[in-house]
Amino acid sequence: MNIAIIGYGKMGKSIEKIAKVRNHKISFFSNKSPCPILLKKSDVAIEFSRPDSAFKNIKICIENHIPIVCGTTGWIEKLHLVKDLCEKNNGTFLYSSNFSIGMNIFHEINHKLSKLLSPYSINYEVKIEEIHHKEKLDKPSGTALVLAKSVLNNQMKKTWTLDPNKKKDKILIVSKRIENIPGIHIVTYQSKMESIEMQHKAHNRDVFAIGAIIAAEWIKDKKGIFSMKEVLGI
């Protein structure tokens, strides 16, 4: 498979390394919006750039009929526009705020747990703590927001907050930025009598890169909008 790497930073470099191990070729890599002529030589594009450039890059790929896997976080308010673009162009798009296979399974467990606890929600405080390296631009992390969404969908709480003084009846999200941490997420459900705590820790960026490449291999010949749920069959 010929892969275009859009955004050749920490993630782009990890994707290049793992793609080669899996016998893929890199058609080009770029730290700018991709040129449509170069894109035509690619079977699929993998995009890990910046929140303010992701949408434009996705649009270029979809309009040029190149399936795209996107891992950039912090732009998700434009997802509805991507859906429209995909429909109009019969395009192919897959987004995940976290490509780690373990984290995608963690989401399923969190969903189930919040559903089971939801009848007793009044007794439980819910806290999501996320810790990342200092260069991460978005806060809270896209993954923390997906974890919170499960709790909200199961009506355990009505909203989330970053303010520990206003956490009553809300999910408290705590974001920390510490040197060299690829990603830690801890979800805690705590009553006066017990706590349930789940933690996911990414040891390095390769865990996201391999997930993104598996997703790219999976969507290459498909049409539509997908998530890691479909890729992993969960």
Ligand X SMILES: NC(=O)c1ccc[n+]([C@@H]2O[C@H](COP(=O)([O-])OP(=O)(O)OC[C@H]3O[C@@H](n4cnc5c(N)ncnc54)[C@H](OP(=O)(O)O)[C@@H]3O)[C@@H](O)[C@H]2O)c1
Q: Is 132 labeled as catalytic in the residue annotation?
A: yes
| Closest-approach residue to ligand X (CB) | 9
C-alpha distances (whole Å) from 176 to each of 59, 130, 140, 201 are 32, 6, 9, 14
- Please say which residue, 118 or 227, places its beta carbon nearer to ligand X: 227
41: Cβ–Cβ under 8 A, 6 or more apart, which residues? Answer: 2, 4, 27, 28
Rounded Cα distance, 30 and 10, in Å:
13
Among candidate residues 10, 115, 136, 139, the one labeled active-site is 136
Tell the burial category of 202 from Cβ atoms under 10 Å away from its Cβ (0-12, 13-18, 19+). Answer: buried
Least CB distance from residue 96 to ligand X, whole Å?
Answer: 5
Least CB distance from residue 15 to ligand X, whole Å?
Answer: 9
Residue in the block written with tokens 């920490």: 10
Among candidate residues 24, 132, 157, 170, the one labeled active-site is 132
Q: Is 80 labeled as catalytic in the residue annotation?
A: no
Residue in the block written with tokens 């782009």: 12
- Please say which residue, 35 or 196, places its beta carbon nearer to ligand X: 35
Least CB distance from residue 36 to ligand X, whole Å?
Answer: 14
Query: What residues line the site for ligand X (CB under 6 A)?
Result: 6-12, 30-33, 48-51, 53, 57, 71-74, 96-99, 135-136, 208
Query: What long-range pairs does 50-56 form, CB within 8 A, spacing at least 24?
Result: 50/7, 50/137, 51/75, 51/137, 51/138, 53/7, 55/81, 55/82
- Please say which residue, 9 or 102, places its beta carbon nearer to ligand X: 9
- Please say which residue, 98 or 121, places its beta carbon nearer to ligand X: 98
Least CB distance from residue 51 to ligand X, whole Å?
Answer: 6
Amino acid identity of 174?
A: V
Rounded Cα distance, 59 and 128, in Å:
32
Residues noted as catalytic: 132, 136
